[in-house]
């Protein structure tokens, strides 16, 4: 940040972050670094006799392995990210790691797990719902968000599920529980697919337009919620969805 401040033309700008009591400082560490970051490093910071911001939260994870073995550059047991990102997207690996986060126990990146996360979750649940709703709504409602009409019990339950999921997701992110946040996100995507299939708006398009428009309105609200929930994990995709 000192280099950034100099490039900005304001050499003191870094202090707005590191000296400000308004800064909320979070340090994500591995479990082997807890003693240093919880005691030694704060003591060294306080010993500077400068108003440096001390850490507010110290979420520590267990270890993340590769196919059950520790990552090792010297042993050639690693994934080259430059090569990886020539084939896959940053969002794909971000979601995979979040959904497997070693928050309470060691976990591993596996290629089978990566395949399942991409094809089963991102494509099969999240992407499938968003695509089918947007394509159908664009065709059936001339690209406009329809107004809701009389809500049935299934509609009210789905609307409550959307709101409840947003609140749960907010709590998970605030508590640094990325794995639970990813589970909550995909839980909503799955529930949304079930709702859309149960309502069958393609049938209502022929004989019951108000019911179809209500289904599409709630489905679009679910897409907005999915975009919000997924943004911390898959920001590029979430921006496109939004």
Return the number of other C-beta atoms located less than 10 Å from residue 215's C-beta.
30
Which of left, alpha, beta for 70 (phi over 0: left; psi -120 to 50: alpha)? beta
Whole-number Å distance between alpha carbons of 159 and 171: 19
Q: For position 48, what pLDDT does the model report?
A: 92
Q: For position 117, what pLDDT does the model report?
A: 97
Compute, in degrees rounded to 10, the torsion defined by CA atoms 105, 111, 241, 206.
-110
Q: For position 12, what pLDDT does the model report?
A: 96
H-helix or E-strand containing 155? helix 153-174
Whole-number Å distance between alpha carbons of 110 and 66: 6
CB 102 within 8 A of CB 178: no
Q: Which pair of structure tokens corresponds to residue 235?
A: 């920001």
CA 206 to chain centroid, in Å, comes to 37
* Cα dist from 96 to 79, 110, 174, 238, 240, whole Å: 14, 10, 20, 15, 19
pLDDT truncated to tens, each residue of the chain (242 aa)?
A: 999 999 999 999 999 999 999 999 999 999 999 999 999 999 999 999 999 999 999 999 999 999 999 999 999 999 999 999 999 999 999 999 999 999 999 999 999 999 999 999 999 999 999 999 999 999 999 889 999 999 999 999 999 999 999 999 999 999 999 999 999 999 999 999 999 999 999 999 888 999 999 999 999 999 999 999 999 999 999 999 99
Using only C-alpha atoms, the chain has a radius of gyration, in whole angstroms, of 23
Q: For position 187, what pLDDT does the model report?
A: 97
CB 222 within 8 A of CB 185: no
Task: Give the closest residue to 99 by CA, choosing from 80, 83, 82, 118.
Answer: 118
CB 195 within 8 A of CB 158: yes
pTM of the model as a whole: 0.88
Phi, psi of 64 (to 5 degrees): -110, 120
Q: For position 227, what pLDDT does the model report?
A: 98
Q: Are strands 64-66 and 107-109 parallel, antiparallel or unpaired?
A: parallel
């Amino acid at each position: 940040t000192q280099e950034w401040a100099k490039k900005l033309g304001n050499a003191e700008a870094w202090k707005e972050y590191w000296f400000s009591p308004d800064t909320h400082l979070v340090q994500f560490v591995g479990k082997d670094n807890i003693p240093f970051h919880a005691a030694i490093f704060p003591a060294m910071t306080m010993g500077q006799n400068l108003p440096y911001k001390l850490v507010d939260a110290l979420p520590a994870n267990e270890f993340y392995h590769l196919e059950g073995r520790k990552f090792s550059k010297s042993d050639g047991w690693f994934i080259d990210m430059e090569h990886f990102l020539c084939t896959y997207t940053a969002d794909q690996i971000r979601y995979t790691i979040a959904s497997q986060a070693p928050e309470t126990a060691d976990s591993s990146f596996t290629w089978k797990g990566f395949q399942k996360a991409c094809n089963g979750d991102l494509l099969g649940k999240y992407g499938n719902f968003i695509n089918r709703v947007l394509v159908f709504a664009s065709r059936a409602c001339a690209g406009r968000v329809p107004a809701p009409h009389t809500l049935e019990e299934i509609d009210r339950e789905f609307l409550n599920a959307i709101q409840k999921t947003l609140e749960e997701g907010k709590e998970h992110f605030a508590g640094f529980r990325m794995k639970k946040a990813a589970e909550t996100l995909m839980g909503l995507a799955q529930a949304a697919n079930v709702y859309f299939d149960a309502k069958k708006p393609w049938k209502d398009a022929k004989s019951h337009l108000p019911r179809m428009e209500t289904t599409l309105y709630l489905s679009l609200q679910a897409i907005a919620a999915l975009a919000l929930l997924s943004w911390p994990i898959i920001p590029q995709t979430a921006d496109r969805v939004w």
